[in-house]
Chains A and B, each alone.
Chain A
Amino acid sequence: MKSWTRRKFGSFAGATCLLGLVPWVAKGQAAARVVVIGGGVGGSTVAKYLAASATRIEVTLIEPKPRYTTCFFSNLYLAGLRSLESLTHGYETLAQRYGVNVIHDSVTAIDPAGKTVVLERGTKLPYDRVVLAPGIAFKYGTIEGYDEVATQIMPHAWIAGPQTELLRRQLESMEDGGVFVLVAPPDPFRCPPAPYERASLIAYYFKQYKPRAKILILDAKDSFFGQDLFQDGWNRHYPGMIEWLPRQFTGGIQAVDVRRRLVKTAGDTFKADVANVIPAQEAGQLAQDAGLVDQSGWCPIDPMTFESKLQPGIHIIGDAAKAGNMAKSAFASNSQAKVCAFAILAALIGSERFAPHLFNTCFTFLASDDAVTSVISYRAEPETIRISDIFISKVGENAETRRKAVREADGWYAAFTHDVFG
């Protein structure tokens, strides 16, 4: 584009008009501006793919934190199998190699009428398209006594970083013979197998250092993703250590007493030495403030483009999106981000559109040498996203298959974070 003069551009625009094709740039405007809000997996991926695919799009990424710690694989940190540093990624490559304008600030408002994003420090960023990847917010108040202050005693550890470190410190300080209570959330929530992977990997840690410890899972649900795989793994690796109590047994989780570390269900009170409370979830706060959320608490989108059904020009990807049958996961966010980026390129610079492909793949650890996989392909339809094909590991697979999945998982983490952060 560097040698492309305005005169030539004018002639080109004329030619395209005569051909009956009027892409956005042919209107004689400057480079199209896309503002991406949220530097997690979805936001970073969409920023990278937009910036890498077209020179005539200015991509700005707004993220308050200087570095991002991945929630996926953070259960390995809790098990003592990975450092948190190895799960933490910066934005330097996105900025330097791909030319993304990375701004470390918070967004205070999105103005769809004025097509402007307002930052906390006062900057106003005009946009042609916004991509919002706000992640999740917690529905505090659904469990009585569990609020933001309570997370400092009973961490959720469902957004990786200080919360994850706090939970690890508590597990390290717990006496052998102590009880770890994990409160698992109702659907839908970020990463369906993750609470049960967490129980598995904390059991892996306990088995080595605190073999008399117990794990109690108090679930808001009556079943969970991959249940037979987990229960088989628990019986093989940690017999007698993990107890799972479904909602139909407890009547549901009703309250916590943070000071006394009690978790109260409809019929019982459980005393925890360490409590990990993962509350019910909804779309990130910014999506709610911007009027992008429906009564479900999530953001309805067009499955072909991930553009909001409530506010044109704003796309929502990742956990906050109401994406039919797609799981809320990092892999799904990355997959959605690519579909969204290609749709935005088509809208802004007139690139050709092809059928979208959406996937979710998941590596889940039952122990350090035992991982299971799931892979799902999806079909985007006009009103929803449906599962096309699905594969999940099976109970009774041989040990080498599971060890191979561990090796693949390590390779996947390296490749995936390279795809996201450059």
Chain B
Amino acid sequence: VTTRCFRDERASNIRQIIALSISASLVIFVANRSAAADNDRGAQLAATCASCHRLDGRDKGIPSIIGLDEETLTRAMQAFKSGERSSQIMHVMSLSLSNDEIVTLARYLSTLRVEGKRP
């Protein structure tokens, strides 16, 4: 858990506070933990999407999943899961995700931008 902050460049301020004060770090970790872990869980789930969908916004043959908001993505995955939207591949993929994972994944994907740097 702690190393999440350690290797997150955007969390450098938090790192310095940790270094100065153990008690302060405890408070901040509790606050920061779930957001960072959620982001990492989202990134790991999104890695499975990247086997078919390019995460840089290109969409030849297979639709892009970049540039959509969280709600649209959640609704789409739930629709594939229930069979309301037809795609056998997406049905099997979304069936493997819990509802909680779908929300985490949609939140993560909604933060990606065209030509984003994550794989």
Contact = CB atoms under 8 A, between A and B. Distances in A.
B53 to A, nearest CB: 6
A298 interface: no
Interface in B31-46: 37, 40-41, 43-45
A377 B92 contact: yes
Nearest to A22: B2
B89 to A, nearest CB: 5
Interface stretch (B14-22, B69-77, B107-115): B14-22
A349 B92 contact: no
Interface residues of B, number: 46
A392 to B, nearest CB: 9
A23 interface: yes
- Interface size on A, as a range, is 35 or more
| B interface majority secondary structure | helix
Interface in A345-378: 349-352, 354, 357, 359, 361, 373, 375-377
Contact of B41 (A338, A354, A391, A393): A354
Given A354-B41, A388-B96, A21 B89 contact: no
Contact of B2 (A3, A23, A55, A418): A23
Contact of B119 (A14, A52, A342): A52
A65 B117 CA distance: 27
A3 B93 CA distance: 41
Given A15-B18, A357-B96, A415 B52 contact: yes
A16 B40 contact: no
A375 B48 contact: no
A365 B93 CA distance: 22
A39 B18 CA distance: 40
Interface of B: 1-4, 6-7, 9, 12, 15-16, 18-20, 22, 25-26, 29, 37, 40-41, 43-45, 47-48, 50-54, 56, 58-62, 88-89, 91-93, 95-97, 118-119
Given A15-B2, A408-B62, 14 more contacts: A1-B7, A25-B3, A49-B119, A334-B51, A354-B40, A354-B44, A357-B45, A357-B48, A377-B92, A388-B95, A391-B89, A391-B91, A414-B60, A416-B52
Q: Which 4 A-B pairs have the closest CB atoms?
A: A411-B61, A11-B19, A411-B62, A350-B3
